[in-house]
A and B are shown apart, each in its own frame.
Chain A
Amino acid sequence: AQSVTQLGSHVSVSEGALVLLRCNYSSSVPPYLFWYVQYPNQGLQLLLKYTTGATLVKGINGFEAEFKKSETSFHLTKPSAHMSDAAEYFCAVSDPPYDKVIFGPGTSLSVIP
């Protein structure tokens, strides 16, 4: 059965520093993988997704993630954190037929001035 783990329920970075949010998945078949962001008291926004093809996926707001099958990982990165990046980030997975999405527990990102 598909599942997602996110290492670190809370991550703090300094403004301008690298953002690295970790995600590992469990799936018996090639999955689709997603990162969503949820700002305080707001809805859920899709940052990026991997389906097939290029394993390095670029998303909105300068974020990117790399699908590594050998490590069953899909870590999210951003070279330089901005105060506006403070939010909750969810990694998610979808197995064939790739219709519904199953979420990880989430990582809360804080950005320190």
Chain B
Amino acid sequence: SAVISQKPSRDICQRGTSLTIQCQVDSQVTMMFWYRQQPGQSLTLIATANQGSEATYESGFVIDKFPISRPNLTFSTLTVSNMSPEDSSIYLCSVGGGAVSYGYTFGSGTRLTVV
């Protein structure tokens, strides 16, 4: 299974600012996924990060708020823009499966608090 490194592990940010979260995988993967876990809630898929093309966003999530980059097959970033306290959550990246199973593993997450 792929091993995922995510950073920062946590951050406290001022409202109105932006935070970029990095996700590094130890092997080349076709797709990477970004999830949000609001306090006391389950995980919700934000978007699929495709290498060489724009990310695919789930309903309720937009590129202006959550821009994603995928410069190569081992790395992706998620930016949380113009933050408000409602954005306080854990953000996790993942590699899924598909034709070659990458183990459906998750990064350790970024715990974001917006004040």
**Minimal beta-carbon separation of A81 from chain B (angstroms):** 22
Interface size on A, residues (CB 8 A): 21
| Nearest A residue (CB) for B98 | A99
B42 interfacial by beta-carbon distance below 8 Å: yes
Say whether A104 contacts B48, CB under 8 Å: no
**Minimal beta-carbon separation of A89 from chain B (angstroms):** 11
List A contacts of B92 (CB < 8 A).
43-44
Q: Given A90-B42, A100-B48, A105-B42, does the pair A46, B98 have CB atoms closer than 8 Å?
A: no
How does the 8 Å CB contact mask read for A74-108 relative to B, with 1 for contact and 0 for none?
00000000000000001000100111111111100
Say whether B104 contacts A43, CB under 8 Å: no
List A contacts of B101 (CB < 8 A).
51, 98
Q: Given A97-B98, A98-B98, A100-B96, does the pair A46, B103 have CB atoms closer than 8 Å?
A: yes
Can you name 13 A-B pairs with beta carbons within 8 Å? A36-B106, A42-B108, A43-B92, A43-B106, A44-B43, A44-B92, A46-B105, A51-B101, A98-B96, A99-B30, A99-B98, A100-B45, A101-B94
